[in-house]
Amino acid sequence: MKICYLIGYPVGHSMSALMHNAAFKELGLDFSYEIFSVKSEDLAWFVASRLHEPDFMGANVTMPHKVSIIRHLDEISPEVSRIGAVNTIVNEGGHLKGYNTDGIGAMRTLKEDYGNLDGATVALIGAGGAARAIGYYLSKYVEKVIVLNRTPSTAVDLAKMLSAFPECKANIRALPLQRKNLVKVLGEAHLLINATPLGMIPNVSESPVDCDLLRPGLFVFDSIYNPIKTRLLKEAEEAGAETLSGLKMFVYQGIASFKLWTGLEAPEELMYHVVEKKLEDEKI
C-alpha cells in the first residue's frame, strides 16, 4: 500500500483524509491517506523518519509548516520558488519535491464564482503561506492588492516580494490590520479575501473584520472551509455582501495534489460532495 500524509499542527479539523481516501477507493487505488499533527520542533525528525520510507508517495502540508518545510526538501517547483510556500510534496524515487496547489485552487474558485478579475481592487488579509499563494496568482490579473496583516513587517515583505516579479500587473501595498485601515480599504475594494485562520474550527467566534465594515457590493471570499460558513461569511451575508467559502478552494487544491501523486484525474464531484456532506452534518 502507498501512503500519503497531511502534515500540520493542529490538524484535527481537516477533511483531507476523508476526501482523498474516498477518491483512492473510487479509482481502486491501493493508497491510504493519514493525518499527522506535527509540532514545529518535530518537523525535521518527521521528514527524515517518515517521508523517505519506500511506501511514501506524497503529502499535503498545512499551517504552520508551509514555509519551514522547504529547507527539508530536495527540490521545489518554479511556483514555490516564487511563492515561498509548499502545500504538496511528491516523493520521486526518494527525491522530495515541493509544489503549491493553493493558488491554483483559489484562482479556479474565484474565476468560477467571482468572474473576471481584471481591474479589481483586492483586500488580502494575511501574509502567511495561503496569502503568498493567493497573492501571487492574483497579482497577475487584478489592478490593486492591499495586503493587511497583524504583523506589519510581514505584510510589507509580501508586498515587496509580489511586486518584484515581472509577471505582476497589480499595484501592491501593505498596511497593518487595523480598523482605521480596513475602513478605507474596504470602502474601495471589490473583493475581500481572508487568508488567515481567524474563524477556523475551533475558534469559530473570531473574524478578521468588524461586521459594520461589510457592505453590499463587496465580494467576500474566506479561504477557510471548516466551518463551511465562518463568522465572517455569516456577517457578510447579513450586510448584503456576496460570499464564497473556502470549500471549493480546498477541493480544487486537493484535486491538483491528487494528480501530482497518482498521475490520474481525480473524481472531482465525489471529492466535493463527501466533504460538503460531512461539513453539513457537523454544521455549527
**Same-domain check for residues 79 and 110:** no
C-alpha to C-alpha distance for 199 and 231, rounded to whole angstroms: 6
Q: Are residues 220 and 241 in the same domain?
A: yes
Rounded Cα distance between 10 and 31, Å, is: 23
* 255 and 238 in a common domain: no
Q: Please tell me whether residues 231 and 107 are part of one structural domain.
A: yes
Residues 84 and 128 in one domain: no
User: Is the domain of 89 the same as that of 125?
Assistant: no
pLDDT at 13: 84
- 274: domain CATH number is 3.40.50.10860
pLDDT at position 281: 84
165 plus 275 within the same structural domain:
no
Number of domains, the chain = 2
Which residue has cell 515587496?
160
pLDDT value at residue 278 = 94
Check whether residue 87 and residue 52 sit in a common domain: yes
Per-residue pLDDT of the chain (284 residues; tens, 9 = 90+): 999 999 999 988 899 999 999 999 999 999 999 999 999 999 999 999 999 999 999 999 999 999 999 999 999 999 999 999 999 999 999 999 999 999 999 999 999 999 999 999 999 999 999 999 999 999 999 999 999 999 999 999 999 999 999 999 999 999 999 999 999 999 999 999 999 999 999 899 999 999 999 999 999 999 999 999 999 999 999 999 999 999 999 999 999 999 999 999 999 999 999 999 999 887 75
What distance in Å separates the CA atoms of residue 15 and residue 11, rounded to the nearest whole number? 9
Cell reading at 229: 460558513
What pLDDT, on a 0 to 100 scale, did the predictor assign at position 78?
94
Whether residues 72 and 88 share a domain: the answer is yes
pTM exceeds 0.85, yes or no = yes
Residue numbers of the domain that contains 183: 103-245
List the CATH number of the domain containing 108: 3.40.50.720
One domain for residues 33 and 139: no
By annotation, the residues acting in catalysis are 66
Are the beta carbons of 220 and 233 closer than 8 angstroms? yes
**What is the DSSP secondary structure assignment for residue 264, as one 8-state letter?**
S
Task: Judge if 55 and 109 occupy the same domain.
Answer: no
